[in-house]
Amino acid sequence: MSKKSTFFPVRYRMVLGTFVLSMIVLFDRILISVAKDPVANDLALSDKQMGWVLSIFALGYALFQTPSGFLADKHGARKILTAVVSIWSIFTALTGAVYNFFTLIIVRFLFGVGEAGAFPTMARAIFSWIPIKERGLVHGINFSGGRIGAAIALPIVAWLIDITSWRMSFVILGLIGVLWALIWYWWYRDLPENHASVSENELKIIKENVQETNNNKPSISFKKLFGSRAVWLMMGQYFCSNFTFFFCLTWLFPHLKAKYNLDIIEAGFYSSAPFIFGAIGNWVSGWMVDFIYKKGNWELSRKVPAMIGFALAAIGIVASIYMDEVLGAVIFISLAVFGADMTLSPSWSACLDIGKEHSGTVSGTMNMAGNLGSFFTALAFPYMIAFTGSNTPFFFLAALLNVLAIPMWLIVKPQKPLSLTQ
């Protein structure tokens, strides 16, 4: 079939598809937070039990990051992304059928296992389709999709629960995910040259601006992977970033609702604001990554946006503690999320830089560590309050982690790819 020139390049249509998926990812993830009160009431769960419900997703998500990234490198983003989206969507729907704490824990863990493949597999698709000079903004666009999805989800899901039930809300979102998976499998191809709509000119642009890879796909050495200082640095800083952001996905809604005596719609409105700022942070950071790279400084293009982001996150978190009104607290939490999300595009861009043909595995390993941070966040918040009688120590811990991430970025050398083959 002849390849015709198109007004809207096919690689950007692929990015549109992953952007929509990022929105679905966060829609499905944040639903349990909004549904916390009706779920806890129906199943007679305490706040500590809900902490385990919120965190067990992150544990399943973390543990299967590296395996899912490895599968994406080996079998391609078409099959793996179709499979993982279908799996997590099924378990999203099944959340509506749980009847006690044990069944809820099992379903949420398996939901996390399924969703683990989302971003590592998207990273593998980006490596194959997106020129290196465009990757910063593309990563920023994708992660902003998640933040926009979360911001939209908070009031919409609150409304959906109000007019149907928390059980039916999970079923509806599960069906949306399955629909996306079917469309992806029908439309996407692992290599641009195998897509009938890619023009010769676009294919030339892609091929001339991606890193060279070994087409024989040599097997990866996990000993070298976990023995790499660069990989551990990327894991450490991403742990710090996710510790901040996952609080907003899990405890921000109930925290604001309880502390400031808000109703469910008001809490949804105020809780959505930080995600909008997170989306803006992703766009700003993505633009900075590409702008500095095009100026000829590969290393600083990753380091500068990340370090600025971590500094802003620390400042915002500490300042939010001292706000007596909900608006002030939300403004500074929004600043913290803006900063935390500035770290995402450079993090994932650096994983593609150092991982190359193993970018799915490397990015999955980083994301594994990040979501161990998420796991501890969801548990630390209720347990630290129970132990200290205040939420202040939790916020200071989150700020400290952001500060510690800055020197990690000073050491990273993203322009030096790793040798990870056997």
The domains of the chain are located at: 10-411
pLDDT tens sequence for the chain (422 residues): 444 545 689 999 999 999 999 999 888 887 888 888 899 999 999 888 988 988 888 888 888 888 888 898 889 999 999 999 999 999 999 999 999 999 999 999 999 999 988 988 998 899 889 988 888 888 888 888 888 888 888 788 888 888 899 999 999 999 999 999 999 999 999 999 999 999 989 998 888 776 655 555 567 777 888 888 989 999 999 999 988 888 887 888 888 888 888 887 788 789 889 989 998 999 999 899 999 998 888 889 999 999 999 999 999 999 998 988 999 999 999 999 999 999 998 998 898 888 877 777 888 889 888 888 888 888 888 889 888 988 899 999 999 999 999 999 999 888 787 777 75
The strand pairing partners of 220, in sequence order, are 421
The two tokens of residue 245 are 């952001």
Cβ contact 98:392 at 8 Å: no
CA diameter of the chain: 68
Cβ contact 64:117 at 8 Å: yes
What is the rounded CA–CA span in Å between residue 327 and residue 338? 16
Q: What's the N-to-C CA distance of the chain in angstroms?
A: 39
pTM of the shown model: 0.75
Sign of CA dihedral 384, 61, 133, 408: positive
The angle, 0 to 180 degrees and rounded to 10, between the axes of the packed helices 118-129 and 10-34 is 170
What is the rounded CA–CA span in Å between residue 140 and residue 15? 11
Cβ contact 78:101 at 8 Å: no
Closest CA to 217 of 238, 191, 246: 191
Residue with tokens 């109703």: 263
The residues near 64 (Cβ < 8 Å, ≥ 6 apart) are 112, 113, 116, 117
Q: Which CATH class is domain 10-411?
A: mainly alpha
Q: Is 421 helix (H, G, I), strand (E, B) or coil?
A: strand
Q: Identify the DSSP state of 193.
A: G
The two tokens of residue 270 are 């105020």
The total of other beta-carbon atoms located within 10 Å of residue 53's CB is: 26
